[in-house]
Amino acid sequence: MERLLATAFSLFFLVSAVSAVSVRVDELGVDENNQYSYYHDYRNARVTIEYDRALPYFDGLITGSGLKPYATYQVKLLGKPTCGYADGNDLSNEYVGLNGRWTCMDCEGSAESRNRDDRQYYAKSQFRGDRSECIQGYLVFDFFTAGLDGKAIKRIECKNSYHVLWCGGGSCNSANNKFLQTPDSNHPDTYFCAGDRVDGKIERNTCGGLQLAPGDYDVVLSLTEESFHKGNWATVLSKPIAFTITATPGTTIKQMISSPMPETAESQTNNAHIAAIYALVGLSAALAILWIARKYGKSRDKAAEDAVKNEMEVQRKELEAAKRKYHHREIDEDSFKQIAKDHNAKIIQLEVKLKSLLKGE
């Protein structure tokens, strides 16, 4: 048992080293020369997103400098249909579009005229329809606002599907601009919105109710200047990213991320620890089930086997509850590590007992 625990915690440190990724969003967007209100040189911008490659939800920490002062940016996921990208992924493009919106990439006309709905996607797309149009999915899921110095830092969470942003006071799904201001003396006719006054009009689901389907996502993260209906919506920066949404039975994405984490250096470190602990728990359970199934085959005492499995399920649920408490800062990291260690030890004991039952001992 001690050897198994040592192996598990070795895996913990291995996972913590490889699960997190930092990507610089440094590719100029397609609308870089058609910006909201006035031109800003985004070649000097430095924007980074830190996120985990595999979790039950997608979130990350955006830090930026050299951005347009006071500007609000939509944070989007863009699908990569193979009709428009040499390295495209039609399935993840579909995942994105069915949670957000669609646009025709090879159609002429205004952005509004190129909009498509689900029915048109299934009828006309290269992947599902008659192949008459190249249709891309995109999802506006969060936003952030730069300060006077062009700097920004915000934890972004993929838990909403927005149609567009407004300056209505910060309440989800409002649709008015009553808090717009003109704070930039260098551009006195340009309207902006204070970060705590920005909100989004929901496109799909409910406020906080978005849950991406489990699977591999090969997409583009893009930043679009929000004009609040006062000008262009210009995509100014982008970068391909990849991540995996894992399934977590019994726990919804909304439950897992309903309380945003503090945007501090300490919280960034804790997020990496959370990801590693999640991976450790899931990996331990998966390896145990696979090992037992392959080595011992069918149970010889169904009732006793079911009792052990039920107890293992109880332990798993208690671990899930502890994960939620840790994620919501109801317990500290040391306490959670001890809880995880105790429950993993109990699970290993139950695995030994189940092994004996399967062997008929």
**Interval 245-273: pLDDT, tens:** 987 544 433 343 333 333 444 444 444 55
Mean pLDDT rounded to a whole number for the chain: 82
Joined tokens for residue 109: 């006309």
- Domain identity same for 60 and 150: yes
Domain, as residue range, for 282: 267-359
- Domain identity same for 115 and 198: yes
- What pTM was estimated for this model as a whole? 0.66
Q: Is the residue at 44 inside a domain?
A: yes
pLDDT tens column, 45-62: 999 999 988 888 899 999
Q: Is the residue at 3 inside a domain?
A: no
Confidence of residue 295 (pLDDT cuts 50, 70, 90): low
Q: Is the residue at 13 inside a domain?
A: no
Number of domains composing the chain: 2
- Domain identity same for 244 and 337: no
Q: Is the residue at 86 inside a domain?
A: yes
pLDDT of 153 strictly over 90: yes
- Domain identity same for 94 and 200: yes
Domain edge (last residue) among 198, 216, 248 = 248
pLDDT of 316 strictly over 80: no
- Domain identity same for 219 and 350: no
Q: Is the residue at 319 inside a domain?
A: yes
- Domain identity same for 121 and 41: yes
Q: Is the residue at 206 inside a domain?
A: yes
Q: Is the residue at 135 inside a domain?
A: yes
- Domain identity same for 335 and 191: no
- Domain identity same for 177 and 284: no
Q: What is the pLDDT of residue 109?
A: 84
Neighbours of 288 (CB within 10 A): 19
pLDDT of 96 strictly over 60: yes
Mean pLDDT across the stretch 111-124? Answer: 93
Q: Is the residue at 118 inside a domain?
A: yes
Report residue 166: phi and psi, to 5°. Answer: -135, 170
- Domain identity same for 242 and 282: no
CA-wise closest residue to 350 among 291, 303, 308: 308
- Domain identity same for 76 and 194: yes
- Domain identity same for 281 and 177: no
Q: What is the pLDDT of residue 339?
A: 82
- Domain identity same for 243 and 341: no
Q: What is the pLDDT of residue 349?
A: 75
